[in-house]
Chain A
Amino acid sequence: MDAPARTGASNAEKGASRATDKQRTSWTAWWVAYAQAAPMALVFLLFFILPLLATFVVSFWNYTEYSIEPAFVTTNYQDVFYGCVARLPGLCTTFATYLSTLKFVAIVWAATLAIGFTIAYFLAFHVRTLPMQIALFMVCTIPFWTSNVIRMISWIPLLGRNGLVNEILLSVGLISSPLEWLLYSDFAVALALVHLYTLFMVVPIFNSMMRIDRSLIEAAYDGGASGWQTLTNVIIPLVKPGILIGSIFVVTIVTGDYLTIGIMGGQQIASVGKVIQTQINFLQFPIAAANAIVLLAVVLLTIWGMLRLVDIRKEL
């Protein structure tokens, strides 16, 4: 794969293929495309669209201690936002939970972007041969194929009270008693999230970088730009789509996360997902559904804002 040459060619191909589309359809029956798309459409209808509709409908239902009943009440939403207006400028439970989540989103986004960009930059511009690039890229992706839970619990022997980090710090004499904030804390949650999701930044940014025509960078150098100027004026603008795709992934994953925050926070830190899960466990489906709809709205608004900046389909 000759990346630079390919980038140049692919745009031309796209133009050409658009022109030939009409001819092509003439030798394929019109219904073939529908038949081919149908299985996927059906799966998404049954296991994504209808479930979301069901959630929306149930969020207006009534519930008692024993049962849930069809109705049209807004009490669930009132419960979700209970005290949110009255208690201003203080924070109600829901706002406080979202604020706590927002804090993790900001930290994790900044950290994964900084690390992900650096790693992708190294792979794309400093590793010279394609086989080496692929090999090092694989090294980064392999942990992604293992269970998230395992990658979370693997921090326990390192960060625990008697863990490796504390043992080392104690033996060196830097601290006199074990640090308590290493595990089951905000720190542990942020660390685990960065550990789990940096790859989601590396992949799209690396993809964007590999599509940059190398002659643009040569031209920048020939024009007298320093390495830093090339980075900020040529490379960063060109990989913006990759950065945005990675950001969308990381931001939405962290917003909806409940497992990492649960396990790494020692079940002590609030998150929207955890609230929903607790309500499901108590069979309070309608209020869980209302919370889910609010969470969905927050996530969709965030993505909508980010998507206005990039057209994902052109970037693949």
Chain B
Amino acid sequence: MSDVAPPKRTKRRVAQLDAADTAARPETATAQIVARDLCKTYVMGGSAVHALQDVNLEIAAGEYVAVTGQSGSGKSTFMNLIGALDQPTSGTLTVDGADLGKLSTNALAQYRNEKIGFVFQTFNLLPRTSALDNVALPLLYAQDTGDAKARARVSLERVGLAERAAHEPSALSGGQQQRVAIARALVNAPKILLADEPTGALDSKTTEEIIALFEDLNESGITVIIVTHELDIAARAKRQITFQDGRVVEDRS
């Protein structure tokens, strides 16, 4: 899978149009994430796959958003672009005033480190590493770490796993592992929490615990964006954005 280089001439024209468009449209002052004509195209097996096509969206700080859609609809791609794990093919994606398409790789790393907390379906914890060290991992790459262990401990307390700090992932249940992952996402005080199918590998009881935790975190002011295909989880969010074939087909608050 590789990025398609944007065909430059046409895209520049699009960008100009876009600029005029943006100027015409009054932007909400609270918009934290702004997507303008956002496109992402992959090449798979020789043919181009349009994962995102001309997505225009705004998400305000402190929102609780569920991104839904069938697999291949582009919902995960959208989230990966917000998390700067991937780069847009064309269009702009601005988070807190920073155009992610224009940042250097180092600046993107710092952005992921300071602004974003990731929660994955498969937890992605480091094996043979204690819960505490797993949680402290982002601080390893932070500019100003302070007392990393103490901060990791606070973060673990926040997800209710302080007494499991010394355990390795293999000694924790799925729900506990996901909570460690959430603690890791929280450790560097992110503004946006991105969760990609966070309950996909969990049973219904732990799912409820995790979702309650997300709601709790949202209450404290963090923007929470959950990608999910489970409608009951999506229904819990304050806003539902539905993707289909790379386009936003529904945006409900």
Q: Verify that A and B bind, or say they do not.
A: no
